[in-house]
Structure 1
Amino acid sequence: MDSSDSSLSGRLAQLRQRIEQACLQAGRPAGAVALLPVSKTFPVPVLAQALDLGLLRMGENKVQEIRDKQAELADRAVQWVMIGHLQSNKAKDIARLASEVQSLDRLSLAQALDRHLQTEQRSLDVLVQVKTSPEPSKFGLDPEQLPAFMQSLRSLDTLNVRGLMTMAVNSEDPQAVRACFATLRQWRDRLVELGHEQVQGLSMGMSGDFELAIQEGSTEVRVGSALFGARNYR
């Protein structure tokens, strides 16, 4: 992977242009969609380049990776966003290190986060992950459980619930992908009608499908390879 600064800055410019173009085609303002760089598996020097380009939020899938990278970037103002499936026994580290969790999908995890956040005397932005795809490999709350789940979160003062997150079905059929995103938007609108006005964010869309997500109302896209280049999973 060519991770020189010019290459990264060039990919960032292209990505921002694609996001802006998708917004215009959807009849939305150019700045309506935020970019969350997904830095999982990419080494610290690449992240340092991204930070130099003004990308201060980084999405990670694993708590251990956040721990390791935070130790190396302790002198930089990185905002770590947990986007991967989170086990309750890792809530202590996330309460200490993360600025946001986008994969909240069960009450036991919410309670564990709240408990450790109280100890840390801080709060955390969270998104509720919703399962809009039939694939067994995808995590998330059943959409029908959302109203009751949102109600149960009201008593946890350390959690600022600001939106919903989903991963679309892995399919070549754009209509199947769009249906996942449309489902999340419809449930967001329903929650607002039920009195959860703070639930505005829709984190949906990744490198391969973010234009479709923007057409369906995404407010933030999670992009890794289209920004940083191909991943090396070895």
Structure 2
Amino acid sequence: MKNIADNICTVRAQIARAAKVTGRKPQGIQLLAVSKTRQADELRQAFAAGQHAFGENYLQEGLDKIEALADLAIEWHFIGPIQSNKTRPIAEHFQWVHSVDRAKIARRLSEQRPPDMAPLNVCLQVNISAEESKSGCMPDDVLALARDVAQLPRLKLRGLMAIPAASQDPQHQQRAFAAMRTLLQQLQTEFPLLDTLSMGMSGDMDAAIAEGASIVRIGTAIFGTRNSNSNTQETPL
């Protein structure tokens, strides 16, 4: 397999091609490296190749990497489901949270965000495909949640995140992402500063970019297939 630096170059080239097809500027699309189950030295390789934003799904694993890589100017994103008893360390150590789906979680993150840190950037996770196995609020509940989050002093509401149902059909992929784009546009009538659609992964990135993704979350295409013998035993939060 090509090394991590080469993989990052390949992914960035794919982002540029997908952006060009729809008349977008690649600079408006952030690559977030999904680094769950990866070792700290792999993140160092990615950082050396110019990748500075990393997304973690598991809290303890993420905290261990934050400590191990404290010498690097990494932007840490928490992208996994959140239990209310785990909000404090998330509020204290991450710059972004993509998976806010309840007002209770948002309130705890705001209350526990240290006052000497910048407000925590948050996206509301939407269960756009209405899957019982997925976290996220229903589309009809997004506006009410956005209103709750927008009032919290230590949070900065940035936009929406989704993980649509897996599909190999580009048209099916694009329909789900188009629904997210429409939902964000509806929110922007009341919250015009919202600027983020976190959507698209290794298998559906092109469709997400076509529908306005501003952050794509890429793991396998950068780091390869996850290690089956990973030491990570933590249950997703």
Q: TM-score over 0.5 for the alignment?
A: yes
Q: What is the aligned counterpart of 1:177 among 160, 166, 173?
A: 173
SS at match of 2:6: helix
Show the counterpart of 1:102: 98
Q: 1:130 is matched with which residue?
A: 126
The aligned counterpart of 1:45 is 41
**How do 1:193-204 and structure 2 match up within 5 A?**
193=189, 195-204=190-199
**Deviations, residues 2-58 of structure 1 (Å, cap 9, x unaligned):** 5xxx71111111111111000111121232211001111110110011111221111
Where does structure 1 lack aligned partners over 5 or more consecutive residues? none
**Alignment of structure 1 residues 14-163 onto 2, 5 Å:** 14-118=10-114, 122-163=118-159
Where does residue 235 of structure 2 map in the other structure?
Answer: none
Aligned-partner residue type, residue 156 of structure 2: N
The match for 1:213 is: 208
Q: Distance in 1 between matches of 2:140 and 2:114?
A: 30
Match of 2:160 in 1: 164
Cα distance in structure 2, aligned partners of 1:31 and 1:120 = 30
TM-score, with length taken from structure 2: 0.92
Pick the aligned partner of 1:8 from 4, 7, 31. Answer: 4
Please give the alpha-carbon distance, in whole angstroms, between the structure 2 residues aligned to 1:18 and 1:67.
31
Distance 1:27 1:209, change over 3 A: same
CA distance in 2, matches of 1:35, 1:154: 26
Structure 2: which 5+ runs fail to align? 230-237
Residues 139 and 119 of structure 1: is their aligned pair in 2 closer, same or farther, counting only changes over 3 Å? same
Cα deviation digits, residues 113-152 of structure 1 (max 9, x gap): 0111156654200011111113222111111111111111
Structure 1 residue 181 displacement after superposition: 0.6
Contact 1:85 1:139 in 2 (8 A): yes
Equivalent residues, number: 229
**8 A Cα contact 1:225 1:231, kept in partner:** yes
- Where 1:40 maps in the other structure, the secondary structure is coil
Root mean square deviation of aligned Cα: 1.5
Distance 1:32 1:123 in 2: 22
Separation of aligned partners in 2, 1:226 and 1:23 = 18
Secondary structure at the aligned position of 1:27 is classed as: coil
Report the Cα offset of residue 204 of structure 1.
0.6
Asked if the contact 1:95–1:120 (Cα under 8 Å) also holds between the matched residues in 2, the reply is no
CA–CA distance in structure 2, aligned partners of residues 47 and 75 of structure 1: 12
Q: Supply the AA of the counterpart residue of 1:98.
A: F
CA–CA separation in structure 1 for the residues paired with 2:130 and 2:90 = 28
Contact 2:130–2:138 at 8 Å: present in 1 too? no
Deviation at 1:174, TM superposition (A): 2.3
